[in-house]
Amino acid sequence: MRPTVMEVNLKNFKENVKNIKAKLSSRTKMMPVIKANAYGTYINTRLDILNEFDIVAVAIVDEGINLRKIGFEKEIFVLNQPDVDEIDDIIQYHLTVGICSSEFARKIGEKQEKVKIHIEIGTGMGRTGIHPSRTAEYMDLLQNYQNIEIEGIYTHMSSADTDFAYTKKQVSSFEEAVQVAKNKVPNLKYIHSSASNGLINFPEAQYNLVRPGIILYGYESGEGILRQN
């Protein structure tokens, strides 16, 4: 065993949380991203810290399962659409998942148990998410399955620290999808688009949930961008 010790200052972490909350509107909740062992800090093992939040975000199902096994009982959101083979675990451990695939929705629909989902809208990241123009079509598909509960809608800002104009286009595209979604499900619980750079540089896109990640742990999110009017 190497005689290596990592010290995490929980007081500073709580101060970071406080400073972020100060930038949020009264209607906006914080969903800390604690993927990859909370960016290597292992704060995801501290229930006394996690229980301060109503909902937390992880990247994969196994991370959500680990949180349940240590006793975390509040909402856990899996940011990335899992594999269909993980649906039974999603149900067993009461995880909420982001989805954007018709096939994945169909596989959930084959189950009897209720599954909470957030619809991922692809506004420019280029990897996952449905096109904003398909929002109504996809929601109609989901509403065919009685056990699927549409709890939220979200997107990822790919360049919120480097490209003001592009991010503004993403926000605009997402807003169009949000309005369509609200027509289908008026009482959406969660609408979110901002991770660390987004909540710093685009406060107008907070909606009612934000996903701070790296800035929670004392790291700079990036060089940032010059705000333009």
pLDDT tens per residue, range 12-40: 999 999 999 999 999 999 999 999 999 99
Average pLDDT, stretch 178-198?
Answer: 96
| Closest C-alpha among 56, 54, 53 to residue 66 | 56
219: left (phi over 0), alpha (psi -120 to 50) or beta: beta
CA contacts within 13 A on the Cβ side of 60? 7
Over range 123-127, report the average pLDDT: 80
Q: What is the mean pLDDT of residues 58-69?
A: 98
Residue 227 in this model has a pLDDT that exceeds 70: no
Q: What is the pLDDT of residue 127?
A: 76
Element (H, E) at 115: strand 115-120
C-alpha distances (whole Å) from 109 to each of 178, 183, 185 are: 23, 22, 18
**Rounded average pLDDT over 113-118:** 98
Query: pLDDT at residue 225 above 70?
Result: no
Phi, psi dihedrals of residue 95, rounded to the nearest 5°: -100, 145
Cβ(44)–Cβ(72) under 8 Å? no
CATH number listed for the domain at residues 10-217: 3.20.20.10
Q: What pLDDT is recorded for position 229?
A: 43
Delimit the domains of the chain by residue range.
10-217
What is the model's pTM?
0.93
Q: In whole angstroms, give the CA distance from residue 55 to residue 190.
A: 11
H or E element in which residue 201 lies: helix 196-201
Mean pLDDT of the chain: 93
Cα 7 from Cα 214, distance rounded (Å): 17
